[in-house]
Structure 1
Amino acid sequence: MKKRSLSRWTETVRPYAYIMPALLFFCLFFFFPIGYMIYLSFHDWSLLDLSAMEWVGLANFQEIMLDSDFHLVVINTIIYTFGTVAISLVLSFFLALWLNRQAKIYGIMQAAVFSPHIISLVSVSMLWMWLMDPQYGLLNAILEFFGFPAYTWLADTSSALLSLILVSVWKGVGYNTIVFIAGLQSIPKDIYEAASLDRAGKLRTLAKITLPMLSPTLFFLTIINLISSFQVFDTIYIMTQGGPVNSTNMLVFYIYEQGMDFYNGGIASAASVVLLGLIGVMTFLHFWFAERRVHYR
């Protein structure tokens, strides 16, 4: 009886023993940093003197909530995120519909569309800085060729954020397109044949078959793009440094400035908690919406 009980206990514990190393690794490098960041957000501390850490409670959160610059940073982040995600997904979807063909030329075009995704973000940022140069940039050269005046893409507060959205869409649209194509190719052809026999038009087929069957792919891409856009840093650091007049400053760059430039670790930690909360809320809302809208095959 004891032997059988011991065997049953061993069978129960064994799976947990197998996953324990991965679980410990995950807790050490995921849960612990998040917990420690939240702990630091309740303190006034500097990277120059970690021994002078002082408990201040919610004072850091109160300070950033009353800071007009932080309000602008949050607004910029939301505009950039939703602008990038919406434009990229819509453009990628229609590109996927166009490129989802068997001819060899379309395979070449798929590779061309995907190629920006494999280029480093630093290289992409440097390339677009040259393209948007007000004096020697290719974009202004094209505008002048057609009789339009040159434009200060990154130096104008009204266009700098839109310029960063353009760069992000150009880099990310290829990945989204390839994933959409994979989703389209996984839809059974029998469904389209049945729709054709019922004389369903292209728009009706798109709305009633393609989009519902692609909803898991769309859900995945929306989550990935949302998180990626909320965490944008490289393009801002290289192209604008948050300017002009904070018009392109966003949460991750704000956190970097507070921590590395101003050595205000408490404010940086509090802003990081706000960023974590925003990503968590957006992800939760999307999962909640997906439970009602996503068609799982």
Structure 2
Amino acid sequence: MTQISKKMYSYAFLLPAGIIYCGLFLLPTVMSFFFSMTRWTLTDWQFIGFENYITFLSEPSLNIGFRNTIIYAVLTCGLKVIFGFLLGTFLCTNIKTKDYLRSVVFFPNLLSTIAVGVAFGSMMHPSQGLINKALAAVGIIGPDWLGNTKLALLSVIFVDVWKGVGVATVIFIAGIMSIPQQYYEALMIDGGGSFEKFWHITLPLSRPAMNSVIILALIGGLRSFDLIWTMTKGGPGFTTDLIASIIYKQYAAGFYGLSTAGNVILFIIVSIIAFPLYRFLTKSEVDL
């Protein structure tokens, strides 16, 4: 078999995956860019250039939505990294129930996001919710978690972290367990204790896992929609609106081209933030 034949034979194995990738990702992406510059319905379309982008960017609630999206993404990402790393470190110790505790920590991620939103929305009801009833039992008057403009977004962030920290924990566990034990043994010979193990070995050598958690959690926070829509629908007022919820409201109102332009803008925002951050984080990784 000639060299050219070998290359063609190799590329033949990539062809099915390439067709699927083009059909399910590249083609819809190109079509989204095109239809974002049209006024379209299910049966007709009219090319209008960048009018949808101008209209979407002039949306009165967009400034609030953009600010909330950044706050939501940064806080959920940061808290998942912190709690996930601490839990992952703890669950890699020699405790007898670590396997059971790992399953408990990961369990919320198996639940439907819609079901979690509905459940916590009910639990956070100002008068009938389980949380405020529990607080009232000890003499504390609970706030309106989802109706207070200062607490609503933070309440949803708490639920998001509760649900998603399990994935971060699993990634950290995998990263910590991949660290060679020889490093810890060498540190013990030099007289290092538990803190030295954590600070000089576990923390720096788990950077690849930490970088993965940061990227995944940040992108997930920037694109988040289902949980916040289930719990608050962007309210009270526009105080918990995210870019994704603004896009949905435009789509629900029948402005399909406008909502498509919003999706393209959200895609650009995520790309502008995620790709440079990924390059920055991977430069500082420690090789094992």
What does residue 72 of structure 2 align with?
Answer: 80
Q: TM-score, normalised by structure 2?
A: 0.94
Look up the equivalent residue of 2:241 and give its one-letter code.
N
The separation in 1 between residues aligned to 2:95 and 2:75, in whole angstroms, is: 33
Cα shift readout 1:34-89 (whole Å, capped 9, x = no counterpart): 11111111122345xx41x2222222222222222112111111111111010111
Report the Cα offset of residue 202 of structure 1.
4.0
Report the Cα offset of residue 201 of structure 1.
4.8
Look up the equivalent residue of 2:283 and give its one-letter code.
R
The separation in 2 between residues aligned to 1:199 and 1:240, in whole angstroms, is: 54
What secondary structure does 1:154 align onto?
Answer: coil
What does residue 258 of structure 2 align with?
Answer: 267
Please point out which of 201, 205, 214 is paired with 2:197: 205
What does residue 186 of structure 1 align with?
Answer: 178
Report the Cα offset of residue 255 of structure 1.
1.6
The separation in 2 between residues aligned to 1:287 and 1:293, in whole angstroms, is: 10
Look up the equivalent residue of 1:14 and give its one-letter code.
Y
Pairing of 1:163-178 with structure 2 (within 5 A): 163-178=155-170
Report the Cα offset of residue 253 of structure 1.
2.0
Give the stretch that moved more between structures: 22-31 or 176-185. Answer: 176-185
Look up the equivalent residue of 2:199 and give its one-letter code.
A
Cα shift readout 1:93-121 (whole Å, capped 9, x = no counterpart): 11122222233322222211111111111
What does residue 40 of structure 1 align with?
Answer: 35
CA RMSD of aligned residues (A): 1.7
Please point out which of 247, 250, 259 is paired with 1:258: 250
Q: Give me the identity figure in percent.
A: 31
Matched-pair contact (CA < 8 Å) for 2:247–2:259: yes
Pairing of 1:125-204 with structure 2 (within 5 A): 125-204=117-196
What secondary structure does 2:143 align onto?
Answer: coil
Cα shift readout 1:214-255 (whole Å, capped 9, x = no counterpart): 111111112221222222222123211111111122122222
The separation in 2 between residues aligned to 1:138 and 1:272, in whole angstroms, is: 37
In the alignment of these two chains, the number of paired residues is 288
The separation in 2 between residues aligned to 1:271 and 1:215, in whole angstroms, is: 34
Look up the equivalent residue of 1:243 and give its one-letter code.
G
The separation in 2 between residues aligned to 1:235 and 1:265, in whole angstroms, is: 22
Matched-pair contact (CA < 8 Å) for 2:65–2:242: yes
Look up the equivalent residue of 2:263 and give its one-letter code.
S
Report the Cα offset of residue 203 of structure 1.
3.9
Look up the equivalent residue of 1:19 and give its one-letter code.
L
What does residue 19 of structure 2 align with?
Answer: 24
Unaligned runs of 5+ in 1: none
The separation in 1 between residues aligned to 2:72 and 2:51, in whole angstroms, is: 28
Give the stretch that moved more between structures: 80-89 or 247-256. Answer: 247-256
Unaligned runs of 5+ in 2: none
The separation in 2 between residues aligned to 1:287 and 1:153, in whole angstroms, is: 35
What does residue 225 of structure 2 align with?
Answer: 233
Please point out which of 10, 15, 39 is paired with 2:10: 15
Cα shift readout 1:101-152 (whole Å, capped 9, x = no counterpart): 2333222222111111111112211221122111121211232233322210
Look up the equivalent residue of 1:84 and give its one-letter code.
T
The separation in 1 between residues aligned to 2:3 and 2:108, in whole angstroms, is: 54
The separation in 1 between residues aligned to 2:213 and 2:69, in whole angstroms, is: 19
Q: TM-score, normalised by structure 1?
A: 0.91
What secondary structure does 2:254 align onto?
Answer: coil
Matched-pair contact (CA < 8 Å) for 2:107–2:166: yes
The separation in 1 between residues aligned to 2:182 and 2:3, in whole angstroms, is: 48
Report the Cα offset of residue 9 of structure 1.
2.3
Q: 1:135 to 1:224 in 2, by over 3 A?
A: same
Kindly indicate whether residue 210 of structure 2 is the aligned counterpart of residue 218 of structure 1: yes
Report the Cα offset of residue 293 of structure 1.
0.9
The separation in 2 between residues aligned to 1:84 and 1:13, in whole angstroms, is: 46
